[in-house]
Amino acid sequence: MTTAAGLRVERWTRNSVIRSSLIGLAVLGLFAAPTVFEPAITQKLTGLWILVLMAAMWNALAGYGGLVSVGQQAFIGIGAYSTIYLTHAGVEGYTAMALAVGITAILAFLTSFVVLRLRGGEFAIAMWVVAEVFRQFVSFDSSVGGGTGISLTALGVYGPDYGRAFTYWWALTAATAALLILFFLLRSRFGAALQAIRDDESAAASLGVRVRSSKRIVFVLTSTGCGAAGAAILANTLFVQPNSIFSVQWTAMMIFMVLVGGLGTFEGPILGALILFLLQNQFGNGGVWYFIGLGASAVLFALFMPRGIWGTITERFDLRLTPIGYWVRGPAPPTARDPGLAQSDEGPPTDPPSEVAQ
């Protein structure tokens, strides 16, 4: 759009188009992984996309919606167990996983009417209680193995190698779709409102942002993403047990990834997921010390680098990789006091600029 004064608002710059195209191509390339790597590596990489998905979801919930939950494992478990119930009803395995995501969305929507009445710590703990309620529900259901758990046999028809490849593609598609939805949501008017809520909830409300309904949308969306992660975790391990799938450790991992990567940034949680993935593969056999290390790192980040790695980088260098912002471009405005806008149409070497021009 260009105004009479020659000013215009830009969403995409040449740099961001090139960067986004390269990222898109890289993601397409990742779909080829099962044809290149051994099944064991494919399975590990599936775990990485699940981590990316979970981190992005918890970040959107806490970082943009301001909803700090320690009970998102509720929806991970619902995604996994809904898949089991559906396959028992005769639905094909991967179709069951997709339908389980829909069931998670419905249950998240219903749950939101109870938990979103609460704020802060009350909401966080209520979500943990919700997770426990769902855990108890499946623990007492002998048709899904009760407390001892159950195997997912429906994917057996594809054989181990094809099964791992299909699960990889499913997880990568889910993670990519979630990030794309989040990206387009953040680029929309609703995204601007969400970022405003992130920065100052009551100031956002004073500008007309309907905070509670915005939070409901974020809650349902991110919980649905956790449901997709749960279904993928089940498909990747082919076994589910209430105590493990409804374990608070999933939320602890999400918090770690988001705190280390950068709360309230688009790119930070992806970085956090990569870091956790590397740590898992290096130190994952360390038992309790591994978890102590993760917890201690998260505490140190919260204390000394509260914006996380990516948040600190963006703050220091005023850098955002994903084009979710708005840039004003155009000729100098006719004010004597202020020096005016840059003439450049090309955009600065790195976008966004710290100022239009001084």
Partner 1 sequence: MAAGSAVGIVGPNGAGKTTLLDVLAGAQPPTAGSVHFRGTDVTSASAADRCRMGIGRTHQVPRPFVDMTVFENVYVGATAGGRLRGSAAYERCLSVLELSGLLPVANRRAMSLGLLHRKRLELARALAAGPEVLLLDEIGGGLTDAEAEELLETIERLRRQGIAIVWIEHIVHVLVRAVDRLICMDAGRVIADGPPDEVLQDATVIDAYLGKQE
Number of chain residues interacting with partner 1 (CB under 8 A)? 44
Q: 307 vs 259, 260, 343, CA distance in Å?
A: 7, 8, 34
Give whichever of 29 and 339 is closer to partner 1, judged by the CB atom. 339
203 binds partner 1 (CB under 8 A): yes
- Asked if residues 78 and 104 have their Cβ atoms less than 8 Å apart, the reply is yes
- HSE at residue 323, side-chain half, CA atoms within 13 A, is 18
Q: Name the segment binding partner 1 (CB under 8 A); options: 106-114, 141-149, 168-176, 337-345.
A: 337-345
Give whichever of 40 and 189 is closer to partner 1, judged by the CB atom. 189
325 binds partner 1 (CB under 8 A): yes
Q: Which of 38, 122, 161, 200 binds partner 1 (CB under 8 A)?
A: 200
- Give the list of residues 6+ apart from residue 134 with CB closer than 8 angstroms, or none: 74, 77, 78, 81, 246
> 239 φ, ψ to 5°?
-150, 145
177 binds partner 1 (CB under 8 A): no
Q: Which of 84, 178, 196, 271 binds partner 1 (CB under 8 A)?
A: 196
Say how many C-beta atoms besides its own lie within 10 A of residue 244's C-beta.
16
Q: Which of 98, 144, 185, 211 binds partner 1 (CB under 8 A)?
A: 211
Helix (H, G, I), strand (E, B) or coil at 2: strand
Is the preceding omega at residue 334 within 30 degrees of 0, hence cis? Answer: no
333 binds partner 1 (CB under 8 A): yes
DSSP E strands, the chain: 8-10, 150-151, 239-240, 327-329
15 binds partner 1 (CB under 8 A): no
Give whichever of 170 and 310 is closer to partner 1, judged by the CB atom. 310
- Give the list of residues 6+ apart from residue 82 with CB closer than 8 angstroms, or none: 96, 99, 100, 103, 104, 227, 231
Cα–Cα dist 283/293, whole Å: 9
Give whichever of 38 and 338 is closer to partner 1, judged by the CB atom. 338
Q: Name the segment binding partner 1 (CB under 8 A); options: 32-40, 115-123, 190-198, 295-303.
A: 190-198
Tokens at residue 216, please?
């409901």
195 binds partner 1 (CB under 8 A): yes
Q: Name the segment binding partner 1 (CB under 8 A); options: 173-181, 266-274, 294-302, 329-337.
A: 329-337
Cα–Cα dist 55/79, whole Å: 16
255 binds partner 1 (CB under 8 A): no
Give whichever of 196 and 228 is closer to partner 1, judged by the CB atom. 196
193 binds partner 1 (CB under 8 A): yes
Closest contact distance (angstroms) between CB of 178 and partner 1 is 22
- Asked if residues 191 and 199 have their Cβ atoms less than 8 Å apart, the reply is no
Closest contact distance (angstroms) between CB of 127 and partner 1 is 24
Q: Which of 110, 129, 133, 357 binds partner 1 (CB under 8 A)?
A: 357
- Furthest C-alpha separation in the chain: 78
340 binds partner 1 (CB under 8 A): yes
328 binds partner 1 (CB under 8 A): yes
- Asked if residues 223 and 17 have their Cβ atoms less than 8 Å apart, the reply is no
Q: Residues in the site for partner 1, rule: CB under 8 A?
A: 1, 3, 5, 7, 9, 189, 192-193, 195-196, 198-200, 202-211, 264, 315, 318, 325-328, 333, 335, 337-341, 352-358
